[in-house]
Amino acid sequence: MRYCVTGLPTIPHDVKVELCFYCLGVVIETVLFYNITSSLPLYRENNLPVEPESEFVIKVQDINDNEPKFLDGPYSARVPEMSPVGTSVVTVVATDADDPTYGNSARVIYSILEGQPYFSVEPKTGVVKTALPNMDREARDQYLLVIQAKDMVGQMGGLSGTTSVMVTLTDVNDNPPHFSRKSYQFSMSESLPVASVVAKIKTLDSDVGPNAEMEYRIVDGDGLGLFRITPDRDTQEGLVTLQKGLDFETKSSYTLRVEVSNRNIDLRFLSLGPFSDTATVRLIVENVDEPPVFSLPLSKMLISEAAKVGTTIGTVSAHDPDSTNSPIRYSIDRNTDLERFFNIDATTGVISTAKPLDREVNAIHNITIFAMESLDPLQVGKGIILITVTDINDNAPVFAIDYETYLCESARPGQVIETISAIDRDEPQSGHRFFFSLTAEAAGNLNFTLRDNKDNTASVLTMRGGFQRHDQTMYRLPVFIMDGGSPALSSTNTLSIRVCDCDPDGAPQSCGSEASMLSAGLSTGALIAILACILTLLVLVLLIVTMRRRKKEPLILDEERDVRENIVRYDDEGGGEEDTEAFDMVTLRNLKVVRESGGKTRRDVTPEVPTLFLSSRPPPDNGIFRDFIWDRLKETDVDPSAPPYDSLQTYAFEGSGSAAESLSSMDSLSTDSEQNYDYLSDWGPRFKKLADLYGHSGDGNLFAS
């Protein structure tokens, strides 16, 4: 921008002049200073200036042409309710683009246009504060303020700008909780299980969030140990839950006095009153028809495994808790006594043995007893009985394992060749004690002796040396073992001792008859392998011969092959399409086809069998029927509504169906089909039979309807 300055006096070239003036249309915020260089005359000879250049600096002064602006507005702020007067809420800031160093154009004063008398603003700092005490959030929770910022120190002619401030009152715990009513009444069934909710009590509190969280407790009443009250996490309702079982016949109603209080109490507002409330809750128990109850839910009984059938083990007892006091009938859940070892008297509840017991097979029987009301069979109670079978000495001791004893030919007299031990299926309380000795007939042998080690083991020792395999390869030593039971039981066990050729370390190399085989160069394993290979080759040869014979022999003894040989009549369910041995295939053939075949026989079937099933077929597996009948029997045993007397049960069950499934698709081929087979005649003499069967010759249906 150029400025043409006229009317100025001549100024020396080394003097800088500062001109101050008001220029209309000039924006001082954009350009504050301008440098102006005068146009100087030049010498004509050398084109040089006659005098040096002069520089003029022009400063543009500011005017109030920009209003204050809130760059961060609009504002939102939060302040607790019931705050004292003068509590700071938020600070608003306005900026003015005018020159703050010149006049009052940029000096801003704040004032509140809307929001009085609740809030005020500091004129110079812009701090918004509360102006009224005890502002209640429950009455009004939000306020919209309009703040004005005016320059020129708020004087007339100054420019102004505004912004809004949304002030939200946050909650404090200034309201105590209280019950919606002073007394409540609820009904509950006596059959409710423990931990069931029997009542919900509504509590009111104007506060929100943590300030409205409740705590409940039962302060008085006749159900202090029977009920418990806790707050619901979502609704803060008081939930009364059952801690023990109910019984209408014992007590039909309960009265509780409950108290509610705030969990988080603000000490500043305790003067407003107690932050708690009380109410009375009455609970009515409703009577229901209950099943019988056993005097002992779990009973333990003992019975010796020597007890005879019919021996009484113990007695169970149950009663009807209702006022009707119905008679009780007892039964055993046969699902827990599948082998039917026990019986129970239906009237007295006396449990007795039904079969001999064996502790070594099953030491503890866990059975369930049903107690059923005679007047209402649908009411059934359950009790558990643990019957422990005590042990008697009814098992003789035997060898702990099947010993394989080897005797080296180089064995010396008195050498221990085996240490034996015994086991006994019985479990005496004092522990096992076994006694070992040789039998009377073996006591005088000159080869071996037995030494009882007194620790339930015994050692077998040689009495001489010089054992040779070619003299005797095997020795059998009978050992007598007796336990310490009362009465004592014993058994005779035979220890087999093989004579072997051993290496210098005493490890057996070859024993008994294997020595001769080894001398010939073949071991037992090699001979077995050779025999297995020979048998395998024989089986393969037989299979190949059988397959070749079947390929050469025609199915029908005729020069021309009967293409209708597999068109049969399926009027009977056989063993499946692949079963050609269990049934006479002649009986399945169409009678018309048989007549047309001219009495020609087939070699793959046996004609004129008097019975449908051949005697060589194994009997069918009746396991599925046995399992089905057994399942139905168990269902009847555990059915409470089943009569206690013998009755006829109908088992209408036909099995799981044929493995061959449906053969109905064979009916789809008939001469009534819309398919035209005349083109078979054009295929040559090889298809003549098919053309006659399926063409328009009018032979009728191929299958029986």
* The pLDDT value given to residue 492: 94
Here the contacts of 341-347 (C-beta below 8 Å, separation 24 or greater) are: 341/365, 342/313, 342/367, 342/387, 344/316, 344/369, 346/644
User: Does a cis peptide bond (omega within 30 degrees of 0) precede residue 487?
Assistant: yes
User: Does a cis peptide bond (omega within 30 degrees of 0) precede residue 117?
Assistant: yes
Spell out the domain ranges in the chain.
69-170, 181-199+214-235+245-286, 293-390, 398-510
| CB-count exposure of residue 246 (10 Å: 0-12, 13-18, 19+) | buried
Q: What architecture (CATH level 2) is domain 398-510?
A: Sandwich (2.60)
Picking from 200, 251, 260, the residue whose alpha carbon sits closest to that of residue 226 is 251
Could you check whether 69-170 and 181-199+214-235+245-286 share the same CATH topology?
yes
Picking from 497, 512, 494, the residue whose alpha carbon sits closest to that of residue 407 is 497
Look-up: residue for tokens 């079947």? 550
DSSP 594-623: HHHTTT--BSSS----SSSS-TTSPPP--H
What is the Rg, in whole angstroms, of the alpha carbon atoms belonging to the chain?
A: 57
- Give the separation between CA 362 and CA 389, rounded to whole angstroms: 8
Q: The pTM is what?
A: 0.44
- Give the separation between CA 585 and CA 578, rounded to whole angstroms: 11
* The pLDDT value given to residue 19: 44
Whether 215 and 157 have beta carbons less than 8 Å apart is answered as no
Look-up: residue for tokens 């005879």? 308
Picking from 366, 362, 427, 364, the residue whose alpha carbon sits closest to that of residue 391 is 427
Tokens of 325: 């006091």
Bridge-based pairing state of the strands 183-189 and 276-286: parallel
CA-based torsion, 59, 61, 65, 71: positive or negative: positive
Statement: 69-170 belongs to CATH 3.30.1490.20: no
Helical ranges in 461-523 per DSSP H = 514-519
* The pLDDT value given to residue 667: 45
- Give the separation between CA 667 and CA 570, rounded to whole angstroms: 10
- Tell me the CB-side half-sphere exposure of residue 167, using CA atoms within 13 A: 27
* The pLDDT value given to residue 275: 85
Low-confidence ranges of the chain (pLDDT < 70): 1-40, 512-524, 551-622, 640-675, 695-705
The CATH T-level fold of domain 181-199+214-235+245-286 is Immunoglobulin-like (2.60.40)
The CATH T-level fold of domain 293-390 is Immunoglobulin-like (2.60.40)
* The pLDDT value given to residue 668: 45
* The pLDDT value given to residue 552: 59
